[in-house]
């Protein structure tokens, strides 16, 4: 499995622009020579861990490793996600996988990151959910899928968390970044014909565009919160 190109772009951006110790999680960890070369002189440091974001035990083990080796989490970027063309009328186990990863996994990661911050008295962290434009509207003339449902859930959960933290007096920021069509390995799941249509017939974003949005959001001063991007 190739390392998702958004993750690749984000790793480059974060570690080459910040002295940050970063732990990245993926079901399959595979770093190519290009990535290794690009990080050789980076001021930040990368720790790559294998974890299934749909399994709570994997997530808890990952946070335990971070606590023991890095102290804890100040910034969380929730990017894990999968898609499906299934609708409610033909739902199968594939759709449950989408909800487990896109909603349940995101929620557990967020819970554990907040727990880590609270344990160490961190009141100015940052949680970023990589959402989708499909989490804010439903496309006309096409079926509404379980993927749409999962991203609408992310929109609600993100805003709910932001309000909760405000009520608690926390200065931890919460941001939803909702890209449109972006060139990544994500479209491979839909087959070559749909992939060709998506990327050749439409204006698209590049992975670096999303990584740049993350870097900008993280760089905002304490009194500025980017709610939605």
Residue 227 lies in a domain: no
Structurally, how many domains does the chain consist of?
A: 1
pLDDT in tens, 9-57: 677 677 776 656 665 655 544 555 566 666 777 777 777 777 888 899 9
Q: State the pLDDT at residue 203.
A: 75
Which run of H or of E encompasses 22? strand 21-26
What residue numbers bound the domain in which 121 lies?
5-218
Residue 139 C-beta-side C-alpha neighbours within 13 Å: 11
Residue 53 lies in a domain: yes
The mean predicted confidence, pLDDT, of the chain is 82
Mean pLDDT is lowest, of 26-40, 129-143, 183-197, for 26-40
Residue 46 lies in a domain: yes
CB 102 within 8 A of CB 81: yes
Q: Look up 199 and say whether it is catalytic.
A: no
Other C-beta atoms within 10 Å of 99: how many? Answer: 19
Residue 51 lies in a domain: yes
CATH assignment at residue 38: 3.40.50.720
The catalytic position among 147, 190, 216, 229 is 147
Q: State the pLDDT at residue 114.
A: 98
Helices (H), 128-169: 146-167
Residue 229 lies in a domain: no
Residue 132 lies in a domain: yes
Of the pLDDT bands very low, low, confident and very high (cuts 50, 70, 90), residue 1 is: very low
> Which one has a higher pLDDT value, 9 or 210?
210
Residue 133 lies in a domain: yes
Q: State the pLDDT at residue 169.
A: 95
Of the pLDDT bands very low, low, confident and very high (cuts 50, 70, 90), residue 207 is: confident
pLDDT in tens, 73-123: 999 999 888 888 788 888 899 889 999 999 999 999 999 999 999 999 999
């Amino acid at each position: 499995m190739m390392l998702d190109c958004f993750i690749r772009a984000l790793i480059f951006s974060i570690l080459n622009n910040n002295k940050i110790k970063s732990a990245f999680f993926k079901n399959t960890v595979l770093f190519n020579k290009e990535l290794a070369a690009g990080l050789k002189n980076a001021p930040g440091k990368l720790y790559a861990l294998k974890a299934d974001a749909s399994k709570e035990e994997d997530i808890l083990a990952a946070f335990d490793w971070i606590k023991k080796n890095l102290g804890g989490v100040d910034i969380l970027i929730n990017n894990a996600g999968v898609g499906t063309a299934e609708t409610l009328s033909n739902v199968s186990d594939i759709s449950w996988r989408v909800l487990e990863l896109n909603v349940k996994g995101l929620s557990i990661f967020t819970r554990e990151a907040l727990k880590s911050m609270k344990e160490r008295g961190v009141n100015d962290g940052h949680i970023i959910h990589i959402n989708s434009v499909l989490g804010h509207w439903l496309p006309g003339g096409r079926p509404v899928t379980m993927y749409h449902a999962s991203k609408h859930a992310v929109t609600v959960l993100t805003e709910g968390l932001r309000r909760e933290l405000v009520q608690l007096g926390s200065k931890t920021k919460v941001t939803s970044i909702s890209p449109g069509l972006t060139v990544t390995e994500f479209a491979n799941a839909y087959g070559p014909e749909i992939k060709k249509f998506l990327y050749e017939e439409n204006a698209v974003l590049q992975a670096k565009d999303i990584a740049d949005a993350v870097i900008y959001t993280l760089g905002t001063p304490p009194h500025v919160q980017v709610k939605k991007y």
